[in-house]
Structures are given as C-alpha cells and as structure tokens.
Amino acid sequence: MLKIVLRRLLVAIPTLILVSLIVFSLQKLLPGDPLLTLAGEERDPQVLAFLREKYHLDDPFHIQYLAWLGNVLSGDFGHSLRTGVPVATLIAQKLPVTLQLALMAIVLALLIGIPAGVLSAVRKGTPTDYAANVVALSGVSIPNFWLGIILIMVVSVQWQLLPASGYVPPTENFLQSIRTMLMPSFVLATALAAYLMRHTRSAMLSVLSSDYIRTAKAKGLLPKAVVLKHALRNALMPIVTLTTLLFGELLAGAVLTEQVFTIPGFGKLIVDAVFTRDYAVVQGVVLCAAVGFIFMNLVADILYIVINPRLRHPQ
C-alpha cells in the first residue's frame, strides 16, 4: 500500500513540472501586455520601463521560468501584480472557500445522484426510470450561470429566503455560511448529480444482470439487501472514480458559478488574474489546482483498494 502511494507521488513530480511549463508558455502566448493593464489608464513610459525591469518581463523565456521555479521550490510563489498581496496568502484565502463549495456540491450530488441511479436501474423501463433520465439530462443541459441567475431572482429577490451572493466563512457564522453556499453548491450539484446518476444506473444494470445476484435472489434474500449490499457495493468502483475526478475538477474552481454568485474562490481568482495578466497568480493557482487533482487521483486509487480486496495484492 505504502509502496503504491510513494510510486504515485514520484510520478506526480514530472506531471507538475509539465503543467507549470505549459501554463507558463500559454500565458506568454496570450495577446496583451501585462504592463498595459498594470500601468493604469495613463501608461506613463517611465513607469512602464520600471515595471518591465522589476518583473523581469524582458528576460528570455527560460530564465523567467527557471527564476519562478526556483522561487516556488523555496516556498515563494511571488506577489500579485495587481494588488501586491503574496500569492501564497491568496491561495490560503481562497482554498478553504473552494474546498467548502466543492464539498457541499459533491455531497449534494451524491445524495441526489446515487439514489436516483439505483432507483432507475431497479425500476428499469418504468416511468420512474424515464423521469429520472429526463431530470438527469436537464441537469447536464441547463447552463450553470443561467440556473444560478434564475435561482437568485426567485429564491433571493422574490422569496428573500437565501442571500443572493457572496461568502461568509464558516468560522465566522456557520449557519450563514451554509445558507450562502446552498444555492451555488446546488447549481454545481445538478450537473454532477446527473453524471453520477447515469453512471450508477449503468453500473447497477450490469451488476444486477450477473449470476451471483440471481443466486442471491434465489436464496430468498430480501430485494433491499440484494440491491444495497450485493449489487451497489460492486457497482461502486466506477462511481468512486467519477466522484474523485469530479471533486478534483471542482478544486480548480467552478469559474462560472463563482462568477455568478461572486464567491471569492479559485475560479474567480484565476479568471480575474487572466484578464489582468497577473502571471504570478495564474501560475500559483494552476499549480495548486494541479496538486489537488493529482491528490484526488491518489485518493481514488486508495479507495479502490479499500473497496475491492482483490486489488490489495497485485501480482
């Protein structure tokens, strides 16, 4: 087990270097000069020259990259060009926000997706199955930002039930924090739940048609026990993969949802940073999101082993 984890971690290092290199070069390919956005409307030539030198923007590409990499390895992610705040501080501020949003969204998605998937597999071909499919399809098809704005209009403006947008840290006011995050996490969960439901359904269908389920039924086990204990546990493998990957994706920030609900998480940070060409922030956040994604992959691998004993002793 430890060996597997260690091996995975070693493989992660070249991946991270590759990711940072790709992001670094893509940023350089972006049209637009970061200095023009930094120097203000007036664009004073003296200031432009000073900033260009200060941020080494005239150095060759590889020098800039190696300087950045060296700083990162010594724990320095640099400062935001736009606000002067250290990138590490920004990440520390935004990571809990994005984590909370991702967790609430994934929990909601699991609560909706798995029961719906099981139900529609067990009642295959019935109106329940069709209804679940239609709902799932709409969940995937409705754009996040649209659903978000409609929810704000109805729930916050018309009914005045939940705050329209913003963020309250759970340490400051736990209940208010959950209330503010409820709509955005629901918006994210609709699409995720649909994926989960479809995968649960197909995994359950294939398990339910296998021999040992017929045997279990023949033994006279209660249908509930057959479905939940025997079928679902074996159908969980693809669902676990999907859930961890979806969660890893959420860690990179739910850009549109965060934008609509003005949640100060990774997504908003990175979009703003790209628009203002705030290179240091883009680099830092992407690296952090990549680490999160790789970590979630590792979690998936470990969960396989926990769920499926056959994987514990690889030949």
Partner 1 sequence: MRTLLATLLTGTVLATSAAWAQDFRIGLQEDPDLLDPHRARTFVGRIVFTSLCDKLIDVDAKLNFVPELATEWAWSNDNRTLTFKLRQDALFHDGTPFNAEAAKANIERARTLPDSLRKSELASVESVEVVDEFTVALNLSKPDATLLAQLSDRAGMMLSPATFEAEVATNPICSGPYKFASRVQNDRIVLEKFAEHREAADYHFGRLIFQPIPDSTVRLANLRAGDIDMLERLNPSDAESVRNDDALQFMPVAGLGYQGITINTGDGEKADNPLGRDKRVRQALQLAIGRDVINQVVGQGLFEPAQQPFPKASPYNSPAFPVVQRDPEAAKALLAEAGVENVSFELSFGNNTTTQAINELIQAMAAEAGFNISLRPTEFAAMQQEMKSGNYQAAQIGWSGRVDPDGNLHQFVTCKGTLNDSKYCNPEVDRLLNDARVTPDVEKRQALYEEAQRILQDDLPIIYVYHQPWPFVLSSAVSGFTAYPDGMVRLKGVTLAR
Give the binding site for partner 1 (CB under 8 A): 30-34, 36-47, 50-51, 54, 80, 82-85, 90, 93, 149, 152-153, 156-157, 160, 163-167, 259-262, 264, 268-269, 272, 275-277
- The number of C-alpha atoms within 13 Å of 155 and in the hemisphere containing its C-beta is 19
How near is the Cβ of 56 to partner 1 at its closest, in Å?
A: 14
Nearer to partner 1, 160 or 315 (CB): 160
Count Cβ neighbours within 10 Å for each residue of 250-287 and write b for 16 or more, e otherwise: bbbbbbbbbbbbebbbbbbbbbbbbebbbbbbbbbbbb
User: What are the two backbone dihedrals, phi and then psi, of residue 76, each rounded to the nearest 5 degrees?
Assistant: -110, 110
How near is the Cβ of 70 to partner 1 at its closest, in Å?
A: 24
Nearer to partner 1, 5 or 30 (CB): 30
Nearer to partner 1, 10 or 157 (CB): 157
Sign of CA dihedral 199, 202, 208, 212: negative
Closest C-alpha to 250, from 265, 239, 236: 265
How near is the Cβ of 277 to partner 1 at its closest, in Å?
A: 6
Cα separation, 186 vs 261, whole angstroms: 12
Nearer to partner 1, 150 or 228 (CB): 150
How near is the Cβ of 145 to partner 1 at its closest, in Å?
A: 9
User: What are the two backbone dihedrals, phi and then psi, of residue 79, each rounded to the nearest 5 degrees?
Assistant: -115, 150
User: What are the two backbone dihedrals, phi and then psi, of residue 86, each rounded to the nearest 5 degrees?
Assistant: -60, 140
How near is the Cβ of 146 to partner 1 at its closest, in Å?
A: 11
Nearer to partner 1, 26 or 222 (CB): 26
